[in-house]
Structure 1
């Protein structure tokens, strides 16, 4: 049986947003400054959350022990969503991406930075971030919570919520509504295909909209 994650990965953020709007759900769209390191790359799946903070008093060894502990605990088959409460350093790099990918983590999104971009692209691990920087976490940043709600922009993201990111942006689907949102998105995409076919065959766009109720 096809999993919710596999089904969500066939959708796109625009149709998911439309469905959530039509269902009266809050428009859970992350800030548009958060983008994939590489075009044509998606992230899709349930969320594993990480929150941390800058701490210049933490030693280099301790900071790396805490960071690698997080890498060991990130849930298989999930997308890590990180709120670093930091706008200076990279919260993802090559070795970390390699480790997460090997564990079966589906991707990583951070309200902050990443580095080693060319290497991350080469291994094909999906990373969404706000900026890039050579500065890393060593001796300056530490995790403080996993699997607790985090806030990015005006969106509160809970562990187990579903996330879909593509070239248009990133939407978050509350866990309780994931099945319905994904099912309705699939129906909407099928209807859009009918509208597209009608227009390509010469039907007036307004007539196609009236006929199918979708545009």
Structure 2
């Protein structure tokens, strides 16, 4: 029997948990979070997917930085490459950039990260080379696009640490779910329960939808299924 390290076991548990979120849509997750008392877990609505049909599910890998015009570009680039090595398979790079002017992700990064199984990126900041990223099908959610590279004007401070992204507190290992409606962050400690309840809610909504399509009045459908 092969002995596994604790990190490998945690990664297996993470994959099982992530599988429970596949196919769930953000409204169901957000509604369940609201019932749990987590009412501010949806990122700023200005953070949107590059394409409306892009979706992402993964484990949060927070990245923190700030504008800095005096950085050494070579040092910044080396920091980026070091950070890339730490992004786990199925991880979602989720950036707290504190920036409004430069791009924090581009074509070469995506080309490097995608084969490693990185799930996607959520950037409270900018992205460039968007046509190539769309062609590659790499899920990216961002606040704005710009051709300006951050390497010359932005400092990468830390990664794999707590952050605030789009107004939401994010910790490593939280579950990130994104689709055309936005991005929701589920704290790791409640992620199992939220997934189960979100699937139940989605099933109830499917039943209501079927009833409405069969001509059942909306109020009667609500009374029967207790959701709408």
What is the TM-score normalised by the length of structure 2? 0.90
Answer whether contact 2:47 2:166 (CA < 8 A) is retained.
no
Residue-by-residue CA offset, 1:159-210 (whole Å, 9 max, x unaligned): 1111111111111111101000010000111111111111111111110100
Answer whether contact 2:106 2:129 (CA < 8 A) is retained.
yes
- 2:111 is aligned with 1:98: yes
- 2:83 is aligned with 1:70: yes
Number of residue pairs the alignment of both structures matches: 215
- 2:75 is aligned with 1:29: no
In structure 1, what is the equivalent of residue 18 of structure 2? 5
- 2:221 is aligned with 1:211: no
In structure 1, what is the equivalent of residue 96 of structure 2? 83
In structure 2, what is the equivalent of residue 17 of structure 1? 30
Answer whether contact 2:76 2:151 (CA < 8 A) is retained.
yes
C-alpha distance in 2 between matches for 1:73 and 1:137: 20
The 3 A distance-change label for structure 1 pair 124 and 153 is: closer
Computed over aligned residues only, the root mean square deviation of the Cα atoms, in angstroms, reads: 1.4
C-alpha distance in 1 between matches for 2:97 and 2:217: 50
Query: Which contiguous aligned blocks of 4+ residues in structure 1 show a shift greater than 4 angstroms?
Result: none
Q: SS at the partner of 1:170?
A: strand
Q: SS at the partner of 1:111?
A: strand
**1:32 shift after superposition:** 0.4
**1:154 shift after superposition:** 2.9
Q: SS at the partner of 2:100?
A: coil
Q: SS at the partner of 2:152?
A: coil
In structure 2, what is the equivalent of residue 141 of structure 1? 154
Match of 1:192 among 183, 199, 205: 205
Answer whether contact 2:105 2:127 (CA < 8 A) is retained.
yes
Q: SS at the partner of 1:159?
A: coil
Unmatched 5+ residue regions in structure 2? Answer: 1-11
**1:43 shift after superposition:** 1.2
C-alpha distance in 1 between matches for 2:131 and 2:192: 36
What is the TM-score normalised by the length of structure 1? 0.96
C-alpha distance in 1 between matches for 2:44 and 2:132: 25
Unmatched 5+ residue regions in structure 1? Answer: none
Match of 1:166 among 171, 179, 182: 179
